[in-house]
Amino acid sequence: MKCPFCSDEETKVLDKRESGTSNRRRRECLKCGKRFTTYEKLGGLVTKVRKRDATEVDFDQEKITEAIWSAAREVGGKDKELAKGLSDRVVQVLEEKFGGYTVPTVEQIQDIVEKVLVEGGHYTTAKAYILYRKSREKLREAKSTMVDVENTISSYMDKKDWRVKENSNEAFSFSGLLLYTAGKVMANYNLNEIYTPTIADAHRNGYIHLHDLSHGVIGYCCGHSLKNLLIQGFGGVPNKVDAKPAKHLDVVVHHLINYIGCLQMEFAGAQAFNSVDTLLAPFVRTDGLNYRQVKQHMQKLVFSLNVPSRWGSQYPFSNLSFDWVPPEDMKNQKAIVGGKEQDFTYGDCQKEMDMINKAFLEVMTEGDATGRIFSFPIPTYNLTKDFNWDSENANLLFELTAKFGTPYF
């Protein structure tokens, strides 16, 4: 029996024991003096191997021998018989561990090969084996990142994939198809390159669900400063059209809509603006608008944020917060119109805020031309301890809440 440490064939048996599956021999090398254990199989217990796709194939020890021999040759090994002896040891460990009752997986067998090589002192061969195993793993991951284009497109066109209807705000359309196919590529990339193997495997095997996986490289929701938009105008993107700060309410509304729409695909979730009524009220005042005109602008805002367009085949996911009354930290600030401070404060614009809130609530409660609910924007209302529960606007707010359940509080 060849010594696995020095390859000398002069060994002696120190002890032997019999079990139900093999004969165990404790041996000592007469050349190097090291001791090792061998097993003589009474009958092969490992007959099947479970592949990575869960199918089972016949166990073939020769594949283990060849894998060890290939790794050994990479580092200058010249003794294939030693590789055979090491593969015998791998089989012995497999039979001890699985005993014919459980089918080992490819990964489990490879783990045992590494263990046997290291415990036998074959460190350079073990390193070569591990590196080859890792390179094969990378190759498999690269293949898994690839998407079957024909199957992907037909899955969308035939509505076979649940993801086609995952987003209720997304229409079945050509732009939806573009988003779906690109999303599938990004989802695979994120699983293989962004998340750890443990998390990725947990998702693939159904232990957890990674929502919006196609958007894994960007942020989820984002709140933006409406005040900055009023001061700086709509722009700042290289090679794109810039607009100066708005001087009138209709322009502010357009800026707000376009801002949300343009950034929709840069975040997975909602785009939000705070203090909408507080910051827009001065424009109502300087424009001298009546209620009918204010409502017209609120209709423009709401309808425009509910149009599926080429910016993603779905409605822009938007959230607007309303203060109801000028906040303590803003009421003494000079109002901004046209990017410049005015000679009055936000606290002076309660009447205009009431007009905006009334108009917005009426538009949202009325719904579209068929009376259907507006999905967006999702309104959030900041209610303070001095909230006037008996006002006309309060009644409108809770009528909307009762009818559609739309507002957040």
Cβ–Cβ < 8 Å for 48, 103: yes
Lowest mean per-residue pLDDT among 113-122, 166-175, 197-206: 166-175
Lowest mean per-residue pLDDT among 23-27, 74-78, 104-108, 115-119: 23-27
CA 108 to CA 113: how far, in whole Å? 9
360 C-beta neighbours (distance < 10 Å), count:
28
What confidence score (pLDDT) does residue 88 get? 92
- With tokens 């999702």, the residue in question is 378
pLDDT bucket at 84, cuts 50 / 70 / 90: very high
143: pLDDT strictly greater than 80: no
pTM of the shown model: 0.64
End-to-end CA distance of the chain: give it in Å, rounded. 80
Q: Which residue has the higher pLDDT, 44 or 173?
A: 173
What confidence score (pLDDT) does residue 322 get? 97
Q: Which residue has the higher pLDDT, 368 or 6?
A: 368
203-254 pLDDT, tens digit each: 988 999 998 898 888 888 999 999 999 999 998 878 888 999 999 999 999 9
CA 357 to CA 363: how far, in whole Å? 10
What confidence score (pLDDT) does residue 26 get? 87
Domain boundaries, the chain: 1-43, 46-139, 146-215, 222-404
